[in-house]
Structure 1
Amino acid sequence: MAGNRNQFISAMILLGLLIMMTLDLTVAQTGVCYGRLGNSLPSPSEVVALCNQNNIRRMRIYDPHQPTLQALRGSNIEVMLGVPNTDLQNVAANQANANTWVQNNVRNYPNVRFRYIAVGNEVSPLRGDTSQYVRFVLPAMQNVYNAISAAGLGNQIRVSTAIETGVLGNAYPPADGVFRSEVTSYLTPIIRFLVDTRAPLLANIYPYFSYINNKAQIDLNYALFASDGIVVPGGIRYQNLFYAILDGLYAALEKSGGSSLEIVVSESGWPSAGGDTTTVNFARTYNTNLIQRVRNGTPRRPGRPIETYVFALFDEDQKNPEIEKHFGIFLANRQPKYPINFN
């Protein structure tokens, strides 16, 4: 009888773990990007409370802002923490610098649930504003990974970097996705590192900009997740542009030795003002549909939810150009700009 009871208890524990894993895959896929380049924004503690009130369980922050890290203590919100581009050279210079960075910003906050360290954001040899940092990204990633591992956190925190979709050359049809030749010498060693450490690639994906730059070829509803989709060469139907871009990245990864990698969408959103095709209604439609659609996989990776971070929590009026100021889903007074449900 005791043996049966123990087996029953073990079965119930296993069932509970499976349920928790399922909930994590299907419900908690969507987080938010919390930038602070705005005037009159709420305090970090108010921001954490806002996220808890709206069932937002994951957050990306772009630098180790100490008041924000303090506010996240014990919150149970999973965090993607950025190493800013301006810190890359220092962290890449030697292991001691990386150890200090990890000690000050990760190990000093044992009750913050760090999920990823994003070492650099949209660094690319194709972008003049970030090309100066290219040579520092991989050594910085390696040093941060070593520091995380030495702290015994290697199984909890993954180290990666966030790319932009401009690194794609051909991306249509998605199966033909390939990285531009100018970035392969930069990205290939990073991909190898991610494969070796079993970390995902982070990617900032914005169908808005793809649509604006190709309005003659792309239907607005397709970009907003609001169409029946299109059938691409090869006979595969794509319901939306987001899936198509993501699968283009997956195809490029597979051609570059990264077929085992997952992609985490580290930014995606739609501006509500400041440019062409920017209204509150379009932003609401995109982000509402995004939260629903990432629960499902893409045609290339079916049945696999897509971990995604909505950009952004608030409008940031200190940013330029103008369109960059209007991606927020909440107003500075913490009221939603439009109805949105993260449940």
Structure 2
Amino acid sequence: MDLRFLASLTFLVGIIFINTHTTAGQVGVCYGRYGDNLPSPAETVELFKQKNIKRVRLYSPDHDVLAALRGSDIEVMLGLPNPELQRVASSQSEAEKWVQTNVISYVDDVKFRYVSVGNEVKISDSYSQFLVPAMENIDRAILGAGLDGQIKVSTAVDMGVLEKSYPPSSGSFTGKVMVLMEPIIRFLVNKKSPLHLNLYTYFSYAGNRDQIGLDYALFTASPGTVSDPPRSYQNLFDAMLDAVYSALERSGGESLEVVVSETGWPTAGGIETNMENARIYNNNLISHVKNGTPKRPGKEIETYLFAMYDENVKPTPPDVEKFWGLFHPNKQPKYDVNFG
């Protein structure tokens, strides 16, 4: 997560009070490890199984976690961290080494679904020039290993890539990010890979409470709260996702799917952060994503909840970043959540 995207949510200005049983529809979880009190990877994988969690996002190739996932039948989105982009982009042999060490060594009994190269890379980041070359090199390494089509390569962006998001049909990318988004989109279209999107209604709500109703952010508003003819919106999640689809359509990415690689609601540390709101958001989300959005009705939205546990040593300010967990360190749920 990166709070810097809040500054670019200009679409909210002028809004008047806006207020599973199959793997295909299964909501997964993000498994971060910035905690000094977390259960072991083996205990966590057992908890995945107990709670019917069939997909997991890992932010780096933690070999203890990958070893614990062996034979679990849990599908994995594996992250290649931003600090490694330059090295992996520098040569094909470095990319092949990364894939061999972190994918091929486990692929016989770990079900890799994606390699997500980089996370929320900004055009202003010094390593942004290496993002797409790293994606291309990792993809070639996967192809060379005979896994093309089995493991898709993508990258995760946040809502800060949008210049306009309201109404959803007017969604468009900011001009300055197109130097990065254009080659990303070309790559994904060519490879038929989805774009990964970190989407948080919480931050949009918390930063714009005079314009967004809590019910709209929590999936509890009345139908038709926002009108965008010929469509209407009952929740902010759909509106934000459809704005990204509109931006993709304007940029040659009309064929792309979007995987929501992070979403959720914190239980402490900020505005309206409590167990009840988190319970409402996450359970409503799990039910809702099976039905698609107004722009893409009936199309299940592959989604990953942030996060498995609170991360008490997470370095990113503010404090709200530490309190997104679904489970306590003792593996007891913070609140009831039903993965189906």
Distance 1:25 1:324 in 2: 29
Q: Which residue in 1 is equivalent to 2:63?
A: 66
* CA deviation after TM superposition for structure 1 residue 314, in Å: 0.1
| Other-structure match for 1:171 | 165
1:263-298 CA-to-partner distances (Å, cap 9, x unmatched) read 000000111000111111111111111111111110
Contact 2:99/2:141 (CA < 8 Å) preserved in 1? yes
Aligned partner of 1:87 in structure 2 is: 84
Q: CA RMSD in A?
A: 1.0
1:76-103 alpha-carbon deviations (Å, 9 max, x no partner): 0000000000111110000000000000
Distance in 2 (CA, whole Å) between partners of 1:166 and 1:179 is 9
Residue among 273, 282, 287 paired with 1:278: 273
User: Match for residue 138 of structure 1?
Assistant: 132
Match of 1:117 among 115, 118, 123: 115
Distance 1:176 1:65 in 2: 40
Tell me the equivalent position of 2:35: 38
Structure of higher CA gyration radius: 1
* Alpha-carbon shift at residue 185 of structure 1 (Å): 1.0
SS across alignment from 1:215: coil
What are the ranges of 5 or more consecutive residues in structure 1 without an aligned counterpart? 1-21
Unmatched 5+ stretches in structure 2: 1-20
C-alpha distance in 2 between matches for 1:203 and 1:160: 10
Q: What is the rounded CA distance, in whole Å, between the counterparts of 1:212 and 1:340 in structure 2? A: 23
TM-score (norm 2): 0.91
* Aligned residue number for residue 18 of structure 2: none
Q: Distance in 2 between matches of 1:35 and 1:85?
A: 15
Residue type matched to 1:248 in 2?
Answer: A
Any idea what SS the aligned residue of 1:59 has?
strand
Deviation at 1:233, TM superposition (A): 3.5
CA distance in 2 between counterparts of 1:177 and 1:41 reads 40
Count of paired positions: 316
- Larger relative contact order (Cα-Cα within 8 Å, sequence gap ≥ 6): 2
State the one-letter code of the partner of 2:249.
E
Residue in structure 2 matching 1:99, options 84, 96, 100: 96
Normalising to structure 1: TM-score of the pair? Answer: 0.91
The amino acid of 2:114's aligned partner reads: Y
For residues 31 and 126 of structure 2, what CA distance do their matches in structure 1 show? 25
Residue 332 (structure 1) aligned to one of 314, 329, 333 = 329
**CA offsets per residue over residues 157-201 of structure 1, 9 Å max, x none?**
000000011111110000000001110111011100000001000
Work out the CA distance in 2 between the residues paired with 1:309 and 1:289.
Answer: 14
Residue 220 of structure 1 aligns with an amino acid whose one-letter code is L
CA contact (8 A) 2:268 2:274 kept: yes
Q: Distance in 1 between matches of 2:188 and 2:32?
A: 26
Structure number with the higher helix fraction is 1
Displacement after TM superposition at 1:42 (Å): 0.4
Which shows bigger deviation, 210-219 or 330-339?
210-219
Separation in 2, partners of 1:134, 1:59: 26
> Which residue does 2:244 correspond to in 1?
249
Give the letter aligned to residue 253 of structure 1: L
Bigger mean CA offset, 228-237 vs 88-97 = 228-237
In the alignment, residue 129 of structure 2 is paired with which amino acid?
R
| Identical columns (%) | 54
Structure 2 CA distance for aligned equivalents of residues 107 and 293 of structure 1: 35
Measure, in 1, the Cα distance between the counterparts of 2:23 and 2:104: 25
Number of the residue aligned with 2:312: 317
After superposition, give the CA deviation of every residue in 1:90-140 in whole Å (9 maximum; x if it has no partner).
1000000000000000000021000000000000125xxxx1121010000
Preserved CA contact (<8 Å) 2:169 2:228: no
Paired residue for 2:202? 208
Separation in structure 1 between the aligned mates of residue 113 and residue 129 of structure 2, nearest angstrom: 25
Secondary structure, aligned partner of 2:163: coil
Give, in angstroms, the shift of residue 235 of structure 1: 4.3
Please tell me whether residue 194 in structure 1 is matched to residue 193 in structure 2: no
Structure 2: distance between partners of 1:23 and 1:334: 24
The secondary structure found in structure 2 opposite 1:261 is coil
Which deviates more from structure 2 when the two are superposed, residues 169-178 or residues 318-327? 318-327
- 1:49 is aligned to 46
User: Are 1:291 and 2:286 an aligned pair?
Assistant: yes
Q: For the Cα contact (< 8 Å) 2:194–2:257, is it kept in 1?
A: yes
- Secondary structure of the residue aligned to 1:309 is strand
1:50-79 CA distance string (max 9 Å, x none): 000000000000000010000000100000
Residue 223 of structure 1 aligns with an amino acid whose one-letter code is: A
Which region of structure 1 is more displaced relative to structure 2, 279-288 or 139-148?
A: 279-288
Q: Is the 8 A contact 2:196 2:260 kept in 1?
A: yes
